[in-house]
Amino acid sequence: MTVLHKIKEQFLNQELSFQAARSSGPGGQNVNKVNSKVILKFNVPKSQILEESEKALLMKKWAKKLDNEGNLTLQAQEKRSQVQNKAIAIRKFYEMLNAAFQKRKVRKATRPGKGAIEKRLRAKKIQGEKKKYRGKDW
């Protein structure tokens, strides 16, 4: 991670908003009393850290995950602790962000090798022989 990414990450944390709610996760009686689920919200169009091109890319890639106002909502309720769930939600957010900005590797078309072609033809020949001896006329 470059220095620029670390600086951006610091400021992006300021644009995240958190909300706590009752979790349906582990905890027994504790679940009914404590707000341990964390809901992370990030508004893509109103972000002051991201550039317009980055916002457009996120709007396109996260189209199904965003609501009408452009809010991304993530939930974390794996742990019994609100602090741990907040850390999980932040980690999920940055993983999604990194995945969205990852460049896809260009696929180069290749041809099968000589050995692979011969192996395939041998397998076809063997299969044909098997089928030839299956009939009633044999």
Of residues 43 and 3, more confidence is placed in 43
Query: What does the pLDDT read at residue 114?
Result: 95
- CATH class given for the domain over 3-101: alpha beta
Residue extents of the structural domains in the chain: 3-101
Q: What is the pLDDT of residues 58-116, one digit of tens each?
A: 889 888 888 898 888 888 888 888 889 989 999 998 888 888 888 888 999 999 999 99
Q: Reading across the β-sheet that carries 17-21, which strands appear in turn?
A: 17-21, 37-43, 71-76
Question: What pLDDT does residue 31 have?
Answer: 65
Q: How far apart are CA 116 and CA 90, in angstroms?
A: 47
**Could you tell me how far CA 78 lies from the centroid of its own chain?**
17
pLDDT bin (cut points 50, 70, 90) of residue 124 is very high
